[in-house]
Amino acid sequence: MNALPENWHPEFHEDSKTELSVIVPLYNEHEVIALMHERLTAVLVDLGIPYELVLVDDGSRDGTPHAMSQLAEADPTVTAVFLSRNFGKEAALTAGLEHAAGDAVIIMDADLQDPPELIPEMLQAWKGGADVVCMRRRSRAGETWFKRFSAHHFYRLLNAISDVDIPPDTGDFRLLSRKAVYALKQLNERNRYMKGLFAWIGLPTTVIEYDRMPRAAGLTKWNYLGLLNLAFQGITSFSTAPLRLAMVGGLLTALFGILFTLWIVVKALVLGDPVQGYPSLISMITILGGAQLLSIGLLGEYIGKTYYEAKQRPVYLVREVVRRGKPVEQTASDSAPSPAGKKWYATF
Ligand code: UDP
Ligand code: MG
């Protein structure tokens, strides 16, 4: 379905240890998958090292799974992981990390916004001793000023209020050493805000700057509501500062309430001013009621998170894995256990 480079020798990779895995999550990326495979393969073949391409279908509803099956059949370096439904990019990345065998693992988007041509530079940084190579966006072509503005401020806010330090303007595009992948696999929380998890593990990190391209084809899967949700997930997964803020707000309101009451009493007793109640009473009730509901909602958000964690459901379910052109036989007991001994996924 797509032209492979002439110097491409799949048998070269057959029995050697995989040095590099490239993980690509795909959700309705039918329009770009062939182009992505072609450009990526051209770069990877030139490296001359054993590599694998881990494509994760995140429950696409278009031709993506079909195109992936065809690629997996034609190209033995492709490992195709099909999830049972759309679990979201964070889960798809987790699935990719579980199925990648390389000493170095690179994560990139399917839409070629992260140029594959930077891979040699990333590998060089890894060989130079970095466990994590973060790619920092110098520019973000094709994105609205509002998205750039909100992303910029969101990362600064998150860094200020949480104990993780996320390098600003970095996305999921990055290289992880085997050590870093192992560290990530230890974090088996259900709420997977990947950028936060990447930062949480620490390890020697190198940052490389690049120019982010516009999407090669297709449409973005994010809308502002989705991004807002992701931002909220990020904050509530890595910081309890909002809870503390609610407490401080409550304290200040209570203090104000006491002073205001004293003032009314003094006014009535000393100045003999009859109490004029209605407007101040109503405004007090609504302000306090609003603040209380807000705090309860916030509390609920954290309790809800605990509820999801307590259920211990897998982060994703795998429908099928195709490796070297053949479906991988898997039973639930084959599935990769997490370090805590729990099953990360099951197959049907
Ligand atoms: N993606 C995914 N599951 C989803 C949404 C997105 O695997 O539920 C993948 C998508 O196919 C792409 C990457 O995540 O490879 C980034 O998505 P997108 O380009 O839509 O996001 P943006 O670059 O606009 O932030
Ligand atoms: Mg994109």
Q: Band of the pLDDT at 52, cuts 50, 70, 90?
A: very high
More confident residue, 57 or 322: 57
Query: 6-20, 191-205, 261-275, 277-291 — which one is most confidently predicted on average?
Result: 191-205
User: What's the distance, CA 146 to chain centroid?
Assistant: 20
> 83 alpha carbon to ligand 2 midpoint, in Å?
20
Q: What is the mean pLDDT of residues 4-21?
A: 58
pTM exceeds 0.85, yes or no: no
Pocket-testing residue among 54, 97, 109, ligand 1, by greatest number of atoms within 8 A of Cβ: 109
- Cα three-residue angle 46-142-136, rounded to 5 degrees: 55
Q: pLDDT category, 275, cuts 50, 70, 90? A: low
Q: How far is the CA of 109 from the centre of ligand 2 (A)?
A: 6
Q: Whose CA is nearest to atom 13 of ligand 1?
A: 109
Is residue 303's pLDDT more than 50?
yes
Ligand sitting nearest the alpha carbon of 61: 1
**Count H helices, E strands: the chain?**
10, 9
CB-facing half-sphere around the CA of 325: CA atoms within 13 A: 7
Q: How far is the CA of 288 from the centre of ligand 2 (A)?
A: 43
pLDDT over 50 (residue 291): yes
Percent share of the chain, pLDDT over 90: 27
* Atom of ligand 1 minimally distant from the CA of 26: 11
d(CA 251, CA 108): 46
165 C-alpha to center of ligand 1: Å? 23
What residues are in contact with ligand 1 under a 6 Å CB criterion? Answer: 25-27, 29, 58, 86, 88-89, 92, 109-111, 113, 220-222
pLDDT of residue 109: 92
Q: What angle do CA 203, 178, 319 make, to 5 degrees?
A: 125
pLDDT for position 16 = 56
Q: In what order do the strands lie in the sheet with 51-57?
A: 205-212, 132-140, 170-177, 104-107, 20-26, 51-57, 78-83, 318-323, 326-327
